[in-house]
Structures are given as structure tokens and as C-alpha cells.
Structure 1
Amino acid sequence: MADLILHHYWPSPFAHKTRMAMGLAGLAWTSVEIPRVPPKPLLLPLTAGYRRTPVLQVGADIYCDTHNIAQVLADAEPNADDRLFPGPSRGAALMLAEWVDQTLFPLAVRVVITEALDTAPPDFVQDRGDLYFGPGWTPEGLRADAPGVILQLEAGLGRLESCLAGLGRCDTRALSSGDVAAAFIAWFLRGRWSRGAELLRDHPHLCEVEAALEGMGQQPARTMSAEEALVIAERAAPQAPAGIQHRSDLAVGQSVGVRPYVQSSDPEVFGRLRALSTDRISIDHEHADVGHVAVHFPVAGYQIRPAD
């Protein structure tokens, strides 16, 4: 496999999660730093316009969304799969990670942004508000909803704690990609919310997992400029297979649109359908800066539609 090139910025919680996953998998990676807010002129040519962080580049194959990336990492080297999904844990780990992302993170990001309304740069607050809350959100609405959101967050963390307690102490079992998701939400709350550390004290198993993964994967093997990464993509060709592996009315070569299935400011991404399975959709994309690349998304959590 070609080098794993991670397009990210260091404070990004989802990039932090992916870096931990690479550390747990024992994989070396190359760092390309990108802007925190659009425009991202040296990233979007690779992704057909997808703007979220992080993005994993492997030659001319571009992988979006951390769930998708985790499965790519598991296939990167022979031992990586056992490290990310030890034993029969793949299904449970993927379900736990998806629940954390879809249930806990939306609550966590609400309390974090609500607290930062008067202190963070206005352009950052506006961008993240549009991205996570969709059109029509207001600071007043966030503040009014905050007490109920905190109650929901506390309930969700209690369920996560019970789940981790049922799995046993992390020093007597193999950590998995599911633990990476748990550690990521703890890291985010502890570092971005003034009440995070206090709240986490009531969840010792979660704190134990967080401590076990602290610092893992946070050192890249090397750094690279975004311009260098574009050249690598241009000189390579997509290696992911093409074809329909799942029952669908869509056909290879058909124009399709893909976007996260949430209320947000995410632009719809368009390309020619390259491949479709139960887990992943791949589109072919061309741009003057990168030539022909294949951009890969998970099926779960994304709306896919014919665009012809």
C-alpha cells in the first residue's frame, strides 16, 4: 500500500480520533496540515468538494469520514486489523463508534460551541454552527437549549460508562476501534469544555480508556506540504476496485450526489459512480490539479442519489 497521508489540523477532534486509530494499529503516517475553516483550495480538488476533516489519501484514492478511514487502516497491514478489531469485535466496535459520533458528539459539540460563543473567533463559530446545526441556528437558541443538552450528554456518558464497564478493565483486554471512539469524546470534552473534567470524574472506565490511548499515534513519520500531496495524487492512479457489489438501481459510470445525511452546510459532492458495496460508495472525480482520483465515502450516514 502507498503511504498513508492524513490531511488534518491538530485541534480537530475527528483528526485526533484517526491519529489514535493509526497509533493503535501501529501504522506510520504522513501529515499534511489544512485550514480549520474553508476555503480549503489545496484539499477540495482531492475530495470533489467534501470539506470535513480528516481526509486520508493513499495515492489517488481519497477516503472521507473516520468510519470509512478506520476500515481502510485495518486493511493497511496484516496486523492492523487485529489491533483495531481484535477477535470478533469488528461489528461491536463499529457500532459503538457510530453511536458515539451520531449521539454523543452532537451533544458535546453543542455544549462546547455554546460556551465558546463569546470567546472563539466569530468566523469559526459561524462556520461550525452552520456545519453542525444547519441553517437557522442562533446563539440564543443554543443558550436556551443548553441545560437540556447537558442532561442528555450526562445520560449518554452514563450509557457509555456502563458499556465500557461491561467489557472489563482496559488493561485486561485488547483495546479496539470502539475504545478509540470513547477516548475521542473524553478528550474533546476534557479539553474544550470547562465542565468536562468534572463530568468525566464520574466515569472511571471512560477515563481509564482515555488514559490508555493518550498520546497514541500523535507523531507523524514525516510532514508534507499540500502541494506535494496533490502531485502524488496526480502521478498515481486509483487502485480501489470498481463495480457494484450490492443490490442497487445505480450503475457504474452514473452521475451521483453524496452528502452527509444530517442538517448541515455540507455541500453535495458529485462524481461518476465507481463502486458500491454495503459499506462504501466510491466516485471517480477529475480536477486539473490532481487528474483522476477516486473518492470514497461510507454508505451509512450518507445520502446518495442519482444526479443525471
Structure 2
Amino acid sequence: MHDIILHHYPISPFSEKVRLILGYKKLAWKSVIIPTIMPKPDVTALTGGYRRTPFMQIRADIYCDSALIADVLERLAPEPSLYPQENAGLARMLAQWADATLFWTAVAYVFQPSAIPYLLGNVTPEQAKAFSIDRASMRGNAPRMSVAEATGALTEYLHRLGSMLADGKPFLLGRQATIADFSVYHCLWFVQRAEPLADILDIAPGVGEWMSRMAAFGHHQSEALASEEAVAIARASSPAAGQDKAFHDTHGVSPGQRVTITPTDYALDPVEGDLVLSTLSEFAVRREDPRAGEVVVHFPRIGFQLKKV
């Protein structure tokens, strides 16, 4: 197996989701710490413009979005599974809700003045302002939830999650952790880090014990890697995009056609390249970069849109 390289930073909730999955599957990985805000020159060299965190690199293949990263890690290490056969569909649907609805509720709740130092660390007022401006540009015109609304919604969600853990059930869908547990956990982990506000987690019996159970998976073994080295690894490698996978077209496109892939919700930065993969669940484009060489950038279908150039 080639090295798994995770490009992330410590306070990123979606990065914590992936780090914990690596721990669950006991996969060793290389850790590249990237900037929290733009500019990110080494990130751009590898992804072609995708700026969300984290992304995963295996040689010259770049995997964007934690949902797709989870699928790739499942292929690399099928056991223990994130998608047990008896509830795979339900687990995926609950994970999608958590990664979208629960995540933005948690973000709206934690970004209160008392919690900012616990989330961003010892930053100067100028750095905090730069972070705020960067995130505002990522959100664009997306609607923003008030603290009052977020508090009420989060309270209700916690009660619902608590009911799923009733009667001593160890994980949300039963005896085994699923992708749903990791997606819900990273949102509540972010709330937990906002220490002055974290007592909201105590309102739902069972949630605290479940979070401790999830945290116990840890991050397994990681080794630091400089971002410049990761770019050099891509340049020295060849992509391994699966041309053997069936081409599934819903856009009137064909392999090799020039397209862009763009998120549909926030950070709407398109990545342009030649389409090499279009399956039921995944897109991938081949692109050339002066520093990274030829790379293939992969995206999940859900949450992204493809357009012809």
C-alpha cells in the first residue's frame, strides 16, 4: 500500500473525522499541516483550486471531501467496516445529515466571542479578523443561523442522538461504529473544543459516554511530512485513476472532455481538468500543474456539480 498523506490542520472538524477513521482502521499515515486560511500555494498545486480541509493524497491521486476519503479508506482497509451491510444505507444518510445540517448548526453555536480563543488558540486580533474574513468569503451568500436558533436546534438534535444511544447501545446504529458515528462525532468534537459552551453536551444522557468511546479509537500512527515533499511525491508519481470503472454519464459528457467540478454549498472554487472518471458516486479530472506535475483530483458526486468547459 502506498503512503496515505492527509493534508489537514488540528482544529478542522472534518479533519478530525478522517483522523479518527484512520485510527479506527489502524492505518498509518503521513501528516501535512496546511494553512487555515488562503493563500495555500501547495494545496492549490495539488488540488487545482479546491480549498476545503482536509484532502487526502496517495501518490498523484488527490481525494477531496471527507465522504469520498472515507470510501477510499474503506477500499484500502475493508475491516472494520464503516458501512456494515445491515445498515449501510441508513448510515450514509445519517452521515450526510451530520456533515451538512448538524455541522453548520455546531459552527453557528460555537463561534461566540467567549469560545473563539479555545477554537483558534493564541492568535492576534489581526489573525482572528483574517480568519473571519476568509470564512465569510467561503460562505458567500449562504444563509447564516443565529446563535439563538443554533442553540435551540443543537439542543433538540442532542436529545434525538441521546435517544439513539438509549438502553446502553454503544453506537448510534447498534453494536458497531459506522460512518454515521464519525460524521456526528466531528461536529460534537468541535462543540467540545469550545470549552465555555461545551456544557450543552451534558443535556443528553449517553452522548458523553459515546463521545469518549469514539475518541478512544485515536489517530493511530502518523508521521510529519512537509507540504513541499508532498508536492514532490505527486510530481514523481503517476496517477492510478480507475479507467476500469464503468463510465456513468448524466451530463452528456465523455471521457477526456474538459470540465469543471465545483462544490454546491460553500467554497465554490471550481477545479478544471479532463474528465477521467464518472461513476455512480465519484468524479475525477486529470490536470497538469507546473509544480505537482500530472495529478488526478477526485470528488464525490453528492455535494458537487460538473459542468462542461
TM value normalised by structure 2: 0.88
Q: Give the distance between the partners of 1:275 and 1:167, measured in 2 at CA.
A: 43
Indicate the larger mover: 237-246 or 222-231.
Answer: 237-246
Q: Which residue of 1 aligns with 2:254?
A: 251
Task: Output aligned runs, 1:99-248, within 5 Å.
Answer: 99-115=97-113, 121-131=128-138, 133-135=139-141, 145-165=146-166, 168-170=169-171, 173-192=175-194, 194-196=196-198, 198-214=199-215, 216-242=217-243, 245-248=247-250
8 A Cα contact 2:241 2:276, kept in partner: no
Q: Which residue of 2 aligns with 1:85?
A: 83
**Identity between Structure 1 and Structure 2 (%):** 34
Q: Which residue of 2 aligns with 1:270?
A: 272
Indicate the larger mover: 273-282 or 147-156.
Answer: 147-156
Please state how far the C-alpha of 1:118 moved relative to its aligned partner: 7.8
How big is the alpha-carbon RMSD for the aligned residues of Structure 1 and Structure 2? 2.4
8 A Cα contact 1:186 1:207, kept in partner: no
1:258-306: CA deviations, max 9, x gaps?
11111x3431111111111111101111101111111000000112211
Q: Give the distance between the partners of 2:103 and 2:300, measured in 1 at CA.
A: 18
Q: Which residue of 1 aligns with 2:46?
A: 46
Number of aligned residue pairs: 297
8 A Cα contact 1:31 1:220, kept in partner: no
Q: Which residue of 2 aligns with 1:13?
A: 13
Q: Give the distance between the partners of 2:212 and 2:116, measured in 1 at CA.
A: 31
Secondary structure at the residue paired with 1:88?
helix
Q: Give the distance between the partners of 1:126 and 1:112, measured in 2 at CA.
A: 17
Give 2:28's aligned amino acid: A
Q: Give the distance between the partners of 2:285 and 2:28, measured in 1 at CA.
A: 27
Aligned with residue 292 of structure 1, among 288, 291, 294: 294
Q: Give the distance between the partners of 2:19 and 2:155, measured in 1 at CA.
A: 26
- Decide whether aligned partners of structure 1 residues 62 and 17 sit closer, same or farther in structure 2, where only a CA change above 3 A counts: same
Give 1:149's aligned amino acid: A
Q: Give the distance between the partners of 2:295 and 2:217, measured in 1 at CA.
A: 30
Please state how far the C-alpha of 1:193 moved relative to its aligned partner: 5.7
- Decide whether aligned partners of structure 1 residues 289 and 215 sit closer, same or farther in structure 2, where only a CA change above 3 A counts: farther
Indicate the larger mover: 232-241 or 111-120.
Answer: 111-120
Q: Which residue of 2 aligns with 1:61?
A: 61
Q: Give the distance between the partners of 2:211 and 2:141, measured in 1 at CA.
A: 34
Indicate the larger mover: 148-157 or 228-237.
Answer: 148-157
8 A Cα contact 2:22 2:220, kept in partner: no
Please state how far the C-alpha of 1:78 moved relative to its aligned partner: 4.5
Q: Give the distance between the partners of 1:194 and 1:202, measured in 2 at CA.
A: 15
Asked if residue 260 in structure 1 is aligned to residue 268 in structure 2, the reply is no
8 A Cα contact 1:183 1:206, kept in partner: no
8 A Cα contact 1:260 1:302, kept in partner: yes
- Decide whether aligned partners of structure 1 residues 220 and 266 sit closer, same or farther in structure 2, where only a CA change above 3 A counts: farther
Q: Give the distance between the partners of 1:245 and 1:174, measured in 2 at CA.
A: 33
- Decide whether aligned partners of structure 1 residues 193 and 104 sit closer, same or farther in structure 2, where only a CA change above 3 A counts: farther
Give 1:127's aligned amino acid: D
Runs (5+) with no aligned partner, structure 1: none
8 A Cα contact 1:179 1:209, kept in partner: no
- Decide whether aligned partners of structure 1 residues 202 and 282 sit closer, same or farther in structure 2, where only a CA change above 3 A counts: same
TM value normalised by structure 1: 0.88
Give 2:194's aligned amino acid: R
Please state how far the C-alpha of 1:159 moved relative to its aligned partner: 2.6
Runs (5+) with no aligned partner, structure 2: 121-127
